[in-house]
């Protein structure tokens, strides 16, 4: 038995939710209905759990025309792609990556560099006009992805010239916007060193007045190399290799020691398109929680690293074994999207009606649990002392500004096939009244196990989809009322991620949610579904979605407890209306929000 004691009055400081990002490739996928549905579901995580999106090759969506010595641009496809991101609440982590219509030959000739500068300035001005300066000021702008690999073809000098032009183009519009890089793939690669040196003591090829500014330094470190087999990730090794970059900067470029650090591809294994079934099991969310906690403990707390953002590059479209947040069912094959996928631009409108279906994976469910953590970190004491990097049991204890407690307890070891269970006693002091609590858990193989039991259908029926989706949600394993001691006895499976929510009894129900959108889709089996999205009142912790044939009811629950702010519901002759009800932790229900399907 491990005794874990948390004092809700003992703050360990403000808690930056630095993991709230994802990415995918290529940006053309934003034009597809499959990605639109994906963003609607991923964008529904509570607490803005996934805020930033980092697609590759976004600038390939710009079409350029050369007339004499001047260039003009057709922005319509890029507008459509970014509009989709913003519509679902995302902010771009915008890579200045891609070559519009192939018109840019390189970055050695001054005229080419100046034209790129002007292109970037025109791009940013368009963003300001379309989304507003206040919104764009919250975005990130970044260099070409992984320029130390084959994606970049212009060498180190070409890359620093390109960066100078990017900075100059952005500065021409607003010098307060964030820009950085280099987003390199290899630890301490020559490209990384050349970029950092240039930003420290180099000279901009355009201004000749010293080095260009850099607002963050981005790198990519992952758990284990690409392989078709299930290699064991080294999660502490991710932090260790990141610290090599940090220490290199501190030693060789101390002027940049306070520049924020970002790992925007912090994945368990290299290679999103290789299939590893553990991507569909509770191994993944437990590992993701541990990696986040390791960065907080080992880098932010111990090494005082100005760590700004950590992202999983898992926003792709794919199957159970792919590094994705949802499992896709439909006629298209996205398994090599980064290298081979080309959207049929001539058939975009017709493609909006293709059959598709999605089932949530544990890698998205964990973002829901993480999104419910509070803004203040709390000190944790344990007997025996917690050693999560050795035995797997770890705790992230937080408090919301309104007093609600949210404690994430994970059990994760790097070894993929280890299992077990750890009993704990969780104590959070004395209760000065009635406190409601719920414990949510991600454990086992969830929806993937249901899919296997159903015979692993490549094109599931609508009933089979419903069964898988019901198993995909975090499970409320325990709930009730605490009146004297805020104390719980729990058993924590290995691997698992568990969220404990505790708050003082509220005297009134939550405000009603507001339906934001409803979009109709055809399933692979020929049925009809509606993807509903709604707003989340501040006091709500969960939602119930109910269905009926008639506006006046009676309504039957379809999803009893959802943490996310979106759901997929069936539509047929007997299901014509839906209600969404917000729940407080005590179970008090709001007035229902009604939508006709």
Domains of the chain: 2-10+375-504 (2.60.40.1500), 515-596 (2.60.40.10)
Q: What is the DSSP letter of 48?
A: G
Q: Tell me the mean pLDDT in the region 365-380.
A: 97
Tell whether pTM > 0.85.
yes
- Please list the active-site residues: 146, 265
- Distance (Å, rounded) from C-alpha 410 to C-alpha 404? 20
- Distance (Å, rounded) from C-alpha 205 to C-alpha 40? 42
Is pLDDT above 80 for 225? yes
For the chain, what percent of residues have pLDDT higher than 70? 98
Q: What is the DSSP letter of 158?
A: H
Task: Give the tens place of pLDDT for each residue, 137-163.
Answer: 999 999 999 999 999 999 999 999 999
Average pLDDT, the chain: 95
Distances from the Cα of 92 to the Cαs of 21, 27, 264, 568, in angstroms? 10, 11, 13, 25
Least confident segment among 170-174, 208-212, 495-499:
208-212
Is pLDDT above 90 for 506? no
Least confident segment among 289-293, 450-454, 573-577:
573-577
* pLDDT of 20: 96
507 pLDDT band, cuts 50/70/90, is: confident
Distances from the Cα of 188 to the Cαs of 183, 192, 193, 400, in angstroms? 11, 6, 7, 39
- Strand 542-548 and strand 556-562: pairing? antiparallel
344 pLDDT band, cuts 50/70/90, is: confident
Structure tokens at 586: 């005590």
Cα 26 to chain centroid distance, Å, stands at 16
Cβ neighbourhood burial of 418 (10 Å; 0-12, 13-18, 19+): middle
CA quadruple 59, 62, 65, 71: dihedral, nearest 10: -60
* pLDDT of 139: 98
* pLDDT of 353: 79
* pLDDT of 77: 96
Task: Give the tens place of pLDDT for each residue, 530-577.
Answer: 999 999 998 899 999 999 999 999 999 999 999 999 999 999 988 999
Is pLDDT above 80 for 88? yes
Report helix angle 33-42 to 76-87, nearest 10.
30
Structure tokens at 351: 């493609």
Least confident segment among 24-33, 67-76, 374-383:
67-76
List all residues 6 or more positions away from 297 whose beta carbon is below 8 Å from its beta carbon. none
Q: Tell me the mean pLDDT in the region 490-508.
A: 95
Is pLDDT above 80 for 337? no
Q: Do the Cβ atoms of 520 and 571 come closer than 8 Å? A: yes
Please report the sign of the dihedral spanned by the C-alpha atoms of residue 492, residue 498, residue 504, residue 507: negative
Q: Do the Cβ atoms of 437 and 500 come closer than 8 Å? A: yes
* pLDDT of 345: 73
339 pLDDT band, cuts 50/70/90, is: low
- Distance (Å, rounded) from C-alpha 20 to C-alpha 457? 33
- Distance (Å, rounded) from C-alpha 48 to C-alpha 69? 45
121 pLDDT band, cuts 50/70/90, is: very high
Q: Which DSSP string do the residues of 236-257 spell out, in sequence order?
A: HHHHHHHHHHHHHHHHH-GGGT
* pLDDT of 272: 79
Is pLDDT above 70 for 350? no
Q: How many CB atoms lie within 10 A of CB 304?
A: 11
Least confident segment among 175-189, 329-343, 404-418:
329-343
Q: What is the DSSP letter of 177?
A: S
- Distance (Å, rounded) from C-alpha 50 to C-alpha 89? 9
């Amino acid at each position: 038995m491990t005794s874990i004691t948390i004092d809700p009055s003992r703050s360990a400081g403000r808690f930056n939710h630095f993991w709230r990002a994802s990415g995918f490739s290529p940006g053309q996928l934003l034009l597809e209905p499959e990605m639109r549905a994906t963003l609607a579901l991923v964008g529904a995580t509570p607490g803005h759990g996934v805020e930033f999106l980092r697609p590759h090759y976004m600038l390939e969506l710009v079409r350029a025309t050369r007339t004499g010595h001047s260039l003009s641009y057709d922005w319509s496809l890029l507008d459509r792609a970014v509009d989709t991101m913003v519509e679902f609440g995302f902010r771009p982590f915008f890579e200045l990556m891609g070559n519009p219509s192939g018109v840019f030959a390189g970055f050695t000739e001054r005229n080419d560099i100046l034209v790129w500068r002007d292109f970037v300035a025109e791009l940013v001005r368009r963003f300001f006009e379309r989304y507003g300066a206040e919104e764009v000021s919250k975005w990130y702008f970044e260099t070409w992805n992984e320029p130390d690999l084959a994606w970049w073809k212009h060498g180190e000098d070409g890359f620093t010239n390109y960066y100078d032009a990017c900075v100059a183009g952005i500065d021409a519009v607003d010098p307060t916007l964030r820009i950085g890089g280099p987003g390199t793939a290899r630890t301490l690669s020559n490209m990384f060193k050349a970029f950092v040196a240039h930003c420290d003591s180099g000279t901009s090829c355009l201004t000749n007045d010293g080095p260009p500014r850099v607002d963050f330094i981005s790198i990519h470190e992952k758990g284990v190399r690409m392989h078709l087999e299930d290699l064991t990730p080294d999660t502490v090794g991710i932090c260790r290799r990141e610290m090599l970059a940090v220490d290199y900067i501190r030693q060789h470029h101390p002027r940049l020691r306070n520049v924020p650090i970002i790992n925007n591809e912090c994945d368990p294994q290299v290679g999103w398109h290789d299939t590893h079934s553990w991507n569909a099991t509770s191994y993944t969310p437990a590992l993701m929680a541990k990696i986040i906690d390791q960065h907080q403990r080992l880098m932010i707390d111990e090494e005082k690293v100005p760590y700004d953002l950590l992202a999983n590059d898992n926003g792709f479209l794919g199957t159970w074994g792919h590094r994705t947040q949802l499992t896709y069912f439909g006629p298209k094959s996205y398994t090599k999207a980064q290298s081979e996928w080309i959207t049929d631009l001539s058939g975009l409108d017709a493609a909006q009606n293709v059959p598709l279906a999605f089932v949530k994976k544990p890698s998205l469910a964990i973002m829901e649990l993480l999104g419910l953590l509070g803004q203040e970190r709390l000190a944790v004491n344990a007997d025996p002392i917690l050693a999560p990097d050795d035995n797997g049991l770890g705790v992230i204890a937080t408090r919301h500004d309104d007093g609600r407690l949210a404690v994430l307890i994970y059990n994760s070891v790097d070894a993929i096939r280890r299992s077990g269970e750890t009993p704990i006693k969780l104590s959070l002091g004395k209760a000065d009244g009635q406190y409601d609590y719920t414990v949510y858990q991600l454990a086992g193989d969830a929806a993937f196990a249901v899919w296997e039991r159903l015979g692993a259908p490549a094109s599931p029926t609508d009933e089979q989809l419903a069964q898988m989706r019901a198993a995909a949600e975090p499970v409320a394993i325990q709930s009730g009322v605490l009146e004297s001691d805020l104390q719980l006895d729990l058993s924590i499976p290995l691997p698992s991620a568990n969220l404990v929510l505790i708050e003082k009894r509220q005297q009134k129900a939550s405000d009603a949610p507001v339906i934001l959108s409803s979009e109709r889709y055809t399933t692979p089996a020929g049925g009809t579904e509606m993807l509903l999205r709604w707003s989340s009142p501040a006091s709500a912790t969960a939602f119930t979605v109910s269905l009926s044939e008639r506006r006046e009811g009676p309504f039957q629950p379809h999803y009893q407890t959802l943490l996310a702010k979106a759901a997929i519901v069936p539509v047929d002759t007997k299901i014509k209306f839906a209600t969404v009800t917000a729940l407080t932790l005590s179970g008090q229900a709001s007035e229902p929000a009604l939508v006709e399907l």
